[in-house]
Every structure is written in structure tokens, then in C-alpha cells.
Structure 1
Amino acid sequence: MDDPVLRVQSQLTDRDRILLGWLFDHGVLTSFQIAHALFPSLDFCQRRLRTLYRLRLVARFRPQRADGGSYPYHYVIDQLGAEVVTVDRQERPPRRDHARVERRRWTSSRTLAHRLGVNGFFTELAGYARTHPDAGLVEWLPEAACARAGAFTTRADSGLVRAYQPRVRPDGYGRWAEDGARVPFFVEYDTGREPLSVLVGKLAGYGELFATIGRAWPVLFWLHSAARETNLRRLLADLPPSLLPVATGARDHATGAGLCPAEAVWAAAGRGGPRHRLADLARYVVDGRDYPGEVV
């Protein structure tokens, strides 16, 4: 019997496999995000996406704008693509309706804009790394993976691995490498709709997480606007002193300056001075069993 997975595997490039893995893990990406992250040009990207679409590895939809016209194509995993990913990872095969459920989820989801925003943050990093040989997005985990028990573990004194069920739900986790520096980080993507007090309230969960695992990594608040960032920083300044590593950045400021999240857009909470590059935040990483366990 003809195996469709075997039939297409020989036609896939390493870049195709990265893309299929991203769609399987992160749900949806626009053609512009995919092009920026993985391809030298939009035309080249669109040609390859058409091929993957014809092979039924990816599916696509195109939302309509309220004021007329349409958005660019949004790509999701198709069933055969999901099967290829699970075979490559030696994981359990996907449900028979996996692709259909995912496609319906994102074509009708009220959280589509938020998910695209989070994914855009990481594809901007990947695009920067594509053109800077000394930089790399080493790891990218979605919200669902961050929330699983065992996503972040630590070795207790007994030598046993202790799994922890995080109370906080980051929008994403990543590890960035550049010029010899390595920075694990969490992302909180702000749409501008939540009260800033809700964002501040999330720090208690991060404090609990870091105290439990004995490590601390920067928590990045990627704000809707510079005004929102200024107001959030005022609230953070009113908190008791803490070693919890927090940095803020504003999308409109970064866009206006022609910068991406890898560059000097980050202001460390509770500290003055110029803005930091993402790699510079390595100075705030506490790795090992020496995190003092302060909870906000």
C-alpha cells in the first residue's frame, strides 16, 4: 500500500521540516511571518508554500478585512503535514481529525490576533538570526507546552527529577543565543486590552515558578505602546524590591526605530541606563540552585 508520508518525505527540505514543526506546535503563521523567518524573499517563500499546499502538507485561509479587502494568507498544518511531524519526532500519530480541528480553531478564533502577535515576536527573532550568523533562536515553546507538568524541572538534593506544574501561563518561552551569550526567557505579549494590574499580577506566578525550580530567567513584557510601557514601569516601581528579572519593551517604539526584539529595545525593570539587546539580558539569568526564592 502506498504510504503518503513516505511519498512526500524525500521532497522536503530542512526548512520545510522546520516550518511544519512550527505550524504543528504554534498553530498559525502568516505568509509574511514565514518569509521573514525562513526565506530570502517573499516570492521564493510563496512559491514554496504553494508547493507544500499542493502536497497537502499545509492548509491556508485568508481572513477578510472589516473595511474591505483581505489579509495575507494564514497557514496552518494539514493532516499529512501533522503526520510527517510526528513521524520525524517519533511521537504518537495525530488524531485523524487533527488538521480539521486546528483549522476550524484558528479560522473562527477570537484569539487569532493574539496568537499571531506572539508568533510574530518569535519569527522576528528567527528572521534576525537568519541574517546574523552569530545569533540563533535555539528553542521556542508555545503556551500549551509551558503549562504542562514537567515542562521545567529541577534536580532535588536526592538526585530525583521533580516535575512542577506551573501556575503561571506564559505566552511563550524561548532560548536566544548571540555572540556567546545564551538567554532563556518568557514572553508576555500585551494587546493593550488587559488592565496593567493584571500584567503585574502575573509576576507572583513567575516568582513561585523560579523559587520552585531554583532558576530565574528574564520575563519580557512586549507592550502594545510606549505609553503602556511607561505606565507599567510605574506600577513595577511601586513593588517591593525583588530579584525577579523583568524587562519591558514597546512595539511601536521598536517599529518606529526599525528594531526587532533581538536588538536594543529592552528596559530592565528597577534599573536605569540605556536599553538592552536581548543577548545583554543574560546578565540577569540565574541558573543553578542558587536562586534565593523570593516571591513577589
Structure 2
Amino acid sequence: MDDPVLRVQYQLTDRDRVLLGWLYDHGVLTSVQIAHALFPTLDFCQRRLRKLYRLGLVGRFRPQRAEGGSYPYHYVIDQLGAEVVAAGRDERPPRRDHARAERRRWTSSRTLAHRLGINGFFTELAGYARTQPGAELRAWLSEAACARVGSFTTADDSALVLAYRPRVRPDGYGVWAEDGVAVPVFVEYDTGGEQLSVLVDKLTGYRELFAAIGRVWPVLFWLPSAARERHLRRLFADTPPPVPVATGSRDYAASAGLCPAEAVWAAGPGDGQRYRLVDVAGYVADLRHPVDGAAA
């Protein structure tokens, strides 16, 4: 019997496999995010995405803008793509309606903007690493992966392993490597819809998490505006956070033409200085790891 997974595998590049894995794990990415993270040009990216779409590996949809027009194509995993990923990971094949359920989920999801936001954070890092020698996004875990029961255990000096406690639900986790240093970080992507006190309260869960695993890693708050960042840092000044935090704002980064890997992070007591992501690790003694020893 002809196996469609075997038939299509020889047509895939390493970059295709990375993309399919991202869509399988993180749900949805726009063509612009994919191009920035993985391709030299948007045109090249779109041609390859059309090929993957015709092969039945990815699905796509284009939300309408309220003010008229449409957004770029949003890509999700298709059923054959999900089966290819599962086969490559030696996992059980996904259920037959996996892709259809995922596509329906994101085309009707109220959380689509938030998911695209956190995915955009990590694809910006990947795009920076693509063009900068010595930089690498070594790990990227989704909220679902961070919350998976049984995924967490004790960490030792040779491996980075997460530990889970119900009170903490990071939007994402990553290991960013640059200049011979690997920095593990948790990311809280803020859309501005919650009270700032809710963000502050999340740090209690991280404190419990770090106590359980015996390690301390930075928690990044990626905020929509510099004004909201200032207000959050005022709260931190009044009540010092129980874990290392760094804050950055998307409008500041955009106006300065910078990405999350660069000097957009305010950390420490709030002297106004902005730090590169790799330098945020300097606030905690055991954050810095040789790149070869940092696995997730």
C-alpha cells in the first residue's frame, strides 16, 4: 500500500521539517513570521509555502480585517504534515481529525492574537539567529509543553530540564544562546488586557517553581507599550519581585529597530539601562552555562 508519509518525505528539506515541527507544536504562524525566521526573502518563503500547501502538509487561512482588506496568510499544520512530524519524532500518529480540529481552533479562536504574539517573539529571535553568527534559538517550548504533566524533573549542571507546578503557566520557554552563553528564559506575553497586579501575582508561582527545581531563571515580561512597562516597574519598585525579572516593550523595540535579542530589556533595580537578552543572565549567578552544556 502506498504510504503518503513515505511518498512525501523525500521532498522535504531540513527547513521544511523545522517549520512543520513549529506548526505542530505552536499552532499557527503567519507567512511574514515564517519568512523572517527561516527564509532570506518573503517571495522565496511564499513559493515554498505554496509547495507545502499543494502537498497537503500545511493548511492556511486569511482573517479579514475589521477596517477592510485581509491579513497575510496564517499557516497551520495539515493532517499529512502532522503525520510526518509524528513519524520523525517516533511518536504515535495523531488522530485522524487532528489537523481539522486545529484549523477550526485557530480560525475561530479569541486567543489568536495572543498566540501570534508569543510566536512572533520567538520567530524574531530565530530570525536574528539566522543572520547573526554565534546566535541560536536552542529551545522553544509552547505554553502547552510547559504545562504538560510528567515533563518536569530535577535539573542538574549538564542539562536544562523544566519542573512543573500548577500555579505557573508560562506563555513560552526558550533557551537563547549567544557569545558562548546559553540563557534559559520564561516569557510572559502581555496584551494589555489584564490588571498589572495580575502580572505581579504570577511571580509567586515562579518562585515556587524555582524552589522545586533548585534553579533560578529570568522571567521576561514583553509588554505592548513603554507606558505600561513604566507602570509595571513602579509596582516592582514598591514590591521587589521574588524572582529575577526583565521587562521590555514592543513599541520601544519597534521604534528603535531592535528585536528581543538586542538591548531592549530593563532589569535589576531600574537604572534605565537596557540590556541584551544574553546579558540579562548576569543578574543571577547560576544562569550562565556553556553553550554545549545547555540542552532542553
Quick check: 2:165–2:208 contact (8 Å CA) kept in 1? Answer: no
CA distance in 2, matches of 1:162, 1:132: 28
5 Å-filtered alignment, 1:10-89, equals 10-89=10-89
- Which residue of structure 1 aligns with residue 251 of structure 2? 252
CA distance in 2, matches of 1:250, 1:165: 28
| 1:234 Cα deviation from its structure 2 partner | 0.3
- Which residue of structure 1 aligns with residue 137 of structure 2? 137
- Which residue of structure 2 aligns with residue 274 of structure 1? 273
Seen in structure 2, the aligned counterparts of structure 1 residues 230 and 94 have a Cα distance that, compared at 3 Å, is same
Quick check: 1:266–1:278 contact (8 Å CA) kept in 2? Answer: yes
- Which residue of structure 2 aligns with residue 90 of structure 1? 90
CA distance in 2, matches of 1:162, 1:51: 37
| 1:133 Cα deviation from its structure 2 partner | 1.5
- Which residue of structure 1 aligns with residue 184 of structure 2? 184
CA distance in 2, matches of 1:169, 1:286: 25
Quick check: 2:155–2:215 contact (8 Å CA) kept in 1? Answer: no
| 1:281 Cα deviation from its structure 2 partner | 1.4
Q: Percent identity?
A: 79
- Which residue of structure 2 aligns with residue 148 of structure 1? 148
Q: How big is each residue's C-alpha offset from its partner over 1:188-235, in whole Å with a ceiling of 9 and x where there is no partner?
A: 001011110110010000001001110011100000100000000000
Q: How big is each residue's C-alpha offset from its partner over 1:91-132, in whole Å with a ceiling of 9 and x where there is no partner?
A: 111010000000000000000000000000000000000000
- Which residue of structure 2 aligns with residue 293 of structure 1? none
- Which residue of structure 2 aligns with residue 283 of structure 1? 282
3-state SS of the aligned residue for 1:202?
Answer: helix
1:138 partner letter: R
1:2 aligns with 2:40: no
TM-score, normalisation: structure 1: 0.92
1:143 partner letter: E
CA distance in 1, matches of 2:33, 2:6: 28
1:169 aligns with 2:161: no
1:268 partner letter: A
- 5+ residue gaps, structure 2, are 288-296
- Which residue of structure 1 aligns with residue 260 of structure 2? 261
Seen in structure 2, the aligned counterparts of structure 1 residues 2 and 106 have a Cα distance that, compared at 3 Å, is same
Quick check: 1:217–1:286 contact (8 Å CA) kept in 2? Answer: no
CA RMSD of aligned residues (A): 1.7
- Which residue of structure 2 aligns with residue 101 of structure 1? 101
TM-score, normalisation: structure 2: 0.92
Quick check: 1:152–1:213 contact (8 Å CA) kept in 2? Answer: no
3-state SS of the aligned residue for 1:149?
Answer: coil
1:109 partner letter: S
